[in-house]
């Protein structure tokens, strides 16, 4: 047998052996780690070990007074289908949707106020202000305490300014166009469209900028229901009869058309 023939036989055996080892070796598996950026704001489902090119679904579940914002890689889809092709870690980020109350004192040192903070929609808010010694309220000079009350709204910021003046100052210098007001109130409504709770079981609340009409679609694009007479910033939709799954809302607003996705449990 020639040396060349022996060499070819040896090479063939080596190739067969390498092929057998490759076939018997376990498939590479990748670790997809899915976490919440803040567990007090929301939780997640999904993640684990997957074969290359295997797909999986990850879902973010916001807590009360929060909504899902985005994944750490920039995607805002929820739930989201991912094709796994490497080890990766993805975090879910959430945004606060309750009511924020900020209180400013003017002039600085003129008095105190309690009641600033975060509130759930529907909570009763009472901001109580008192002048410091040597000061009175800018308008109600005979008052030692004033309470400003209101109901907290969804995804809204209240910026309150309490106005005081030094004792003996002419009130007309402080009143101006706001005569009779010791509290200046600036209310900022979220201009986006938000859904809560999401996922939902019974009633879905749609809130944000002024809305005219809402259309409900299945995930495959079939129109399920229309709500033409919305005309407001908040609208509730009964979803109890919907089968579990994903759905879309097309919301016609004063700022254009928005599409939002929600999950029915």
- Where are the domains positioned within the chain? 29-96, 99-189, 193-264
pLDDT digits (tens, 9 = 90+) for 230-262: 988 889 999 999 999 999 999 988 777 888 889
11 and 17 Cβ atoms separated by less than 8 Å: no
Q: Is the pLDDT of residue 9 over 90?
A: no
Closest CA relative to residue 81, chosen from 63, 62, 54, 61: 54
Its CATH class, for the domain covering 193-264, is mainly beta
3-state secondary structure of 257: strand
Phi, psi values for residue 52, rounded to 5°: -60, 135
Q: Which residue has the higher pLDDT, 178 or 264?
A: 264
**pLDDT in the model for residue 242:** 95
Mean residue pLDDT across the chain: 85
The three-state (H, E, C) secondary structure of 208-243, written as one string: EEEEEEEEEEECCCCEEEEECCCCEEEEEEECCCCC
CA–CA gap between residue 8 and residue 28 (Å, rounded): 32
Pseudo-torsion of CA 236, 241, 243, 249, nearest 10°?
-30
Q: Is the pLDDT of residue 12 over 70?
A: no
Closest CA relative to residue 245, chosen from 199, 195, 209, 207: 199
């Amino acid at each position: 047998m020639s040396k060349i023939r022996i060499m070819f036989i040896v090479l063939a055996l080596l190739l067969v052996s390498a092929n057998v080892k490759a076939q018997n070796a376990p498939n590479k598996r990748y670790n997809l780690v899915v976490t919440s950026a803040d567990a007090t704001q929301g939780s997640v489902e999904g993640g684990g070990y997957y074969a290359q090119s295997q797909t999986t679904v990850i879902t973010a579940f916001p807590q009360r007074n929060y909504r899902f914002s985005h994944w750490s890689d920039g995607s805002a889809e929820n739930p989201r289908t991912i094709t796994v092709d490497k080890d990766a870690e993805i975090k879910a980020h959430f945004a606060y949707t309750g009511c924020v109350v900020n209180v400013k004192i003017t002039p600085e040192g003129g008095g105190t106020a309690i009641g600033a903070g975060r509130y759930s929609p529907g909570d009763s808010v009472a901001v109580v202000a008192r002048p410091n010694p040597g000061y009175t309220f800018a308008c109600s000079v005979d008052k030692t305490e004033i309470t400003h009350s209101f109901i907290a709204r969804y995804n809204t910021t209240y910026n309150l300014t309490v106005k005081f003046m030094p004792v003996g100052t002419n009130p007309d210098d402080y009143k101006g166009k706001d005569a009779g007001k010791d509290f200046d109130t600036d209310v900022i409504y979220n201009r986006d469209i938000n859904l809560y709770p999401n996922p939902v079981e019974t009633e879905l609340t749609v809130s944000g900028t002024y809305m005219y009409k809402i259309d409900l679609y299945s995930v495959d694009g079939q129109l399920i229901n229309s709500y033409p007479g919305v005309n407001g910033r908040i609208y509730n939709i009964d979803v109890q009869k919907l089968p579990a799954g994903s759905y879309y809302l097309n919301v016609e607003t004063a700022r254009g058309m928005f599409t939002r996705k929600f999950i029915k449990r």
